[in-house]
Structures are given as C-alpha cells and as structure tokens.
Amino acid sequence: MQIEGRNSILEAMYVNKKIDIIYLQQGLNFGEIENLAKERGIKVVRVSKIELQKMSKTPKPQGVIAKMQDFEYCSIDDIIKDDGFVVLLDSIEDPHNLGSIIRTCECAGVDGIIIPKHRSAEVNETVVKTSAGAVNHMKIAKVGSLNDAIEYLQKCGYFVFATAMDGELCKDTNLKGKIGIVIGNEGNGVHRLTRQKCDGTLRIQMRGKLNSLNASVACGIILFQALEQR
C-alpha cells in the first residue's frame, strides 16, 4: 500500500509499521521523517516534484510518499472488551468519510470498527491520509455479514444501537457499558434488516430545515455524546 502526507507517514513510523521505502521531494525539508527513517533503516529516495506527482494517488501528497505493507484487518474478537465501545459501518462507500470516521473514533476512544466486505470503502491511500494517521491506532475488522457481526456482539454482551431519524435522542439514552453503534450509508442510512437486528435506535437533535447530516459528522456527534457519559 502507498501512503502519502507527512502526518500519515510519521504516525506509521511511530507505531513501527513496516515501511519499505520513502520518496521525498527534492528541495524540501523532512528532518523528522529522515531521522526516523535512518534510525529504522528505511530506504529514502529523493525525487523531483514532477516524479512525485506522477506517483501520487492523492491530490496533495505534501512532498512525501511511502510504500508499505497493506493494512492488516483484525478479527471481531480482537476488538471485544469488558467495557467495550464499538462502531459498525453499514456500507460507508466514500473513502473520505471512512477516513474521517476512523479519526473521530480514535479521538473518542472507540475500541474498534467493523466494516462489511462488500459495498464498503476499504482502507486505502485516501482513507489513511484523511484519517491523519489515526488508522495506525485503530483496530478494524472486515466481516462477511454486518448482521452476523451484530448478533455476535450481542452474544458477547453488547447492546447495539442503529442510527435512525425516529430513534431515541442520544442525550436521553444510556450509552454506558458494552455498546455498539451502527452508522448508516451516506444516502440510505442503516439498512432495514440491519436495524431490526439492533437493540435500539439513536438520533441526533436537529432544528434546521434539512433532516440529515454527513455520515462522518453524525458519527462524531453521537460518539462524543457517548464519550461524555462514559
């Protein structure tokens, strides 16, 4: 996998992700990255701005690109904890939304994220950069069926909420203990069958004329309301 941007690459280096080679734009200063690369024996190559832009898979690589091993997904069991806090993503297809959600989850103290194998964005270069390196600190499980994952969490003692326009207000809901929160697709929300599997539903109090928020924004509001309780 290729990762781009100073923060994303620095975070990967700090957590000792396996980086094979780093490309740096000629004429720019990358003192901290170069020092860490030297300590860890990572090969560094200086290239022109044009060469770097040709290699880049994102609009603004910030003059640095690294080649590393593909992201390693974990199992659901790796995420489960005694006082667990889990986020499940129901067909989040925009990699920018996925990256933002990962960053928000890391800041809110979420133990892990569960995504489906199909009809979902995967952890790629865009996700890594959008997460500002948070992906390096977040456990992410990829499952064949989100509904099966919900049932498994429930068997492990989790109370799982779906987000819905007609749900209970977050601020009036007990979000302590072992909980899972399902964030729905950008356009369609949580699928009907998935919602039926859940133990309860949550909504955000809104007063505007629009009745929906961006998935990553909605996720952030809910998670930090939960964090205040927890």
The CATH number of the domain where 155 resides is what? 3.40.1280.10
pLDDT number for residue 146? 97
Whether residues 58 and 115 share a domain: the answer is: no
Whether residue 168 is found in the same domain as residue 209: yes
Q: Which residue has the higher pLDDT, 114 or 72?
A: 114
Nearest in space to 8 (alpha carbons), one of 133, 137, 138, 134: 133
Which of the pair, 149 or 130, is modelled with greater confidence? 149
Contact between 17 and 68 (Cβ < 8 Å): yes
Q: Are residues 48 and 91 in the same domain?
A: no
- Do residue 139 and residue 39 come from a single domain? no
Whether pLDDT at 193 is above 90: yes
Residue 104 and residue 44 share a domain: no
- 80 and 48 both lie in a single domain: no
Q: How far apart are CA 222 and CA 212, in angstroms?
A: 14
Residues 63 and 107 in one domain: no
Give pLDDT, residue 119. 87
* Judgement on whether residues 64 and 116 belong to the same structural domain of the protein: no
In degrees, rounded to 5, the angle at the alpha carbon of residue 14 between the alpha carbons of residues 48 and 51 is 10
Domains identified in the chain, total number = 2
Same domain assignment for residues 12 and 63? yes
Q: Which of 47, 40, 39, 5 is nearest to 20 (CA)?
A: 40
pLDDT of residue 35: 93
Supply the range of the domain harboring residue 24: 2-68
H/E run at residue 65: strand 64-68
In sign, the C-alpha dihedral spanning 78, 123, 154, 205 is positive
Phi, psi of 141 (to 5 degrees): -105, 135
- pLDDT of 206 > 90? The answer is no
CATH number reported for the structural domain that contains residue 63 in this entry = 3.30.1330.30
> With 80 as the cut, is the pLDDT of residue 47 above it?
yes
- Examine the fold and report which residue of 68, 90, 112 is the final residue of a domain before the chain moves on: 68
Flag whether pLDDT at 186 surpasses 80.
Answer: no
CA distance 202 to 172: 9
- The kind and range of the H/E element at 21 are strand 19-25
Same-domain pairing of 59 and 83 = no
Considering 68, 90, 122, which residue would you say is the last residue of a domain?
Answer: 68
The CA radius of gyration of the chain, in Å to the nearest whole number, is: 19
Mark which of 21, 49, 68 sits at the end of a domain.
68
What does the alpha-carbon distance between residue 63 and residue 48 come to, in Å, rounded to a whole number?
Answer: 9
The verdict on 50 and 92 lying in the same domain is no
Check whether 70 has a pLDDT greater than 90: no
Cβ pair 133, 8 in contact under 8 A: yes
For residue 12, name the pLDDT band (cuts at 50, 70, 90). Answer: confident
Whole-prediction pTM: 0.83
pLDDT of residue 209: 72
Please tell me which residue, 211 or 188, carries the higher pLDDT value.
188
Q: What percent of the chain has pLDDT over 90?
A: 72
**Are 94 and 186 within one domain?**
yes
Sign of the CA dihedral running 3, 9, 61, 187: positive
Q: Judge residue 2's burial from the number of C-beta atoms within 10 Å of its C-beta, 0-12 exposed, 13-18 middle, 19 or more buried.
A: middle
Task: Give the confidence band of 142 by pLDDT, cuts at 50, 70, 90.
Answer: very high
Instruction: Name every residue whose Cβ is closer than 8 Å to that of residue 1 and which is 6 or more positions away in sequence.
Output: 67, 68, 69, 70, 71, 124, 125, 128
- Could you tell me the pLDDT band of residue 71, with boundaries at 50, 70 and 90? confident
